[in-house]
Homo-oligomer: A and B are copies of this chain.
Amino acid sequence: MAGTVYLVPNLLGVAAPDTALPARTLDVARRLRHWRVETPKSARAFLKTLALATPIASLDVVALPASPTAADGAALLAPALAGDDVGVLSDAGCPGVADPGAALVGAAHAAGLRVVPLVGPSAILLALMASGMNGQRFAFHGYLPVKPEARAAALRALEQDSRREQRAHLFIETPYRNVALLGALAATLAPATQVCVAADLTLETETIERRSARGWRSADAARFDRRPAVFVLQV
């Protein structure tokens, strides 16, 4: 019988595993021997926090290719096809959500393997919950353009869509650009448009703030510099 492909969420930073991972996720992760991961070094650091009975060096830990070919997919899934379970792990949060892993999951479905997503932290989902914005209709866009004019145009398009559809829009930024993005949000959006920033989610330094674009004009954005953050806006 074929093995199962388990999608294992990783912690969002330095935290005790049981702050963000259910016992079932920890139990499955502790018994998996085959891992397909975003970065082997980060994966081993995560596995070390689980206090495994097996030495980590004895595990089969392989980096996911950026764009896996069909041959890559078959090779990476070989243990599952032979009857062993395989874990997919990214460097933080849920594999396949704003992170590598989705292509391998697609290959697993094509091969007829059972895919089981385990529960754990997703910065995107936690930011949406914490924003109090529209969880009935929302969209995640990854990174917005970096160049100021293209970024302003993208923000105006999201704002226009939100005004028309009451949709909440989520996006992320490279942490060293958070302050610049907050400046752009404050300068570009209509004064009353709501903006929520959620940084260091699930960590001791977690900071979640929601105010209007007008409010962000006078807020101290520097506090969000170089902290992993998710941004949410809604008119």
Contact = CB atoms under 8 A, between A and B. Distances in A.
A49 interface: no
B24 A136 contact: no
A97 to B, nearest CB: 4
Contacts of A23: 18-19, 23
A60 interface: no
A72 interface: no
Query: Chain A's interface: helix, strand, loop or mixed, by majority?
Result: mixed
Contacts of A133: 102, 106
Given A22-B21, A137-B140, A139-B139, A105 B119 contact: no
Interface in A101-117: 101-109, 114-117
Given A96-B135, A125-B94, A130 B22 contact: no
Most-contacted residue by chain B among A23, A96, A117 (CB, 10 A): A117
Most-contacted residue by chain B among A116, A125, A139, A167 (CB, 10 A): A125
Copies in the complex: 2
Contacts of A21: 22, 119
Nearest to A135: B97
15 contacts: A18-B22, A21-B22, A22-B120, A94-B129, A97-B129, A98-B136, A102-B133, A102-B134, A106-B210, A108-B132, A109-B209, A119-B121, A122-B125, A137-B140, A137-B141
A131 interface: yes
Given A23-B23, A119-B20, A102 B137 contact: no
B22 A19 contact: yes
A94 B96 CA distance: 20
B20 A22 contact: yes
Contacts of A116: 130, 206, 208
Interface residues of A, number: 59
A156 to B, nearest CB: 17
A132 B104 contact: yes
Nearest to A165: B141
A102 B210 CA distance: 13
A213 interface: no
Contact of A105 (B95, B104, B115, B129): B129
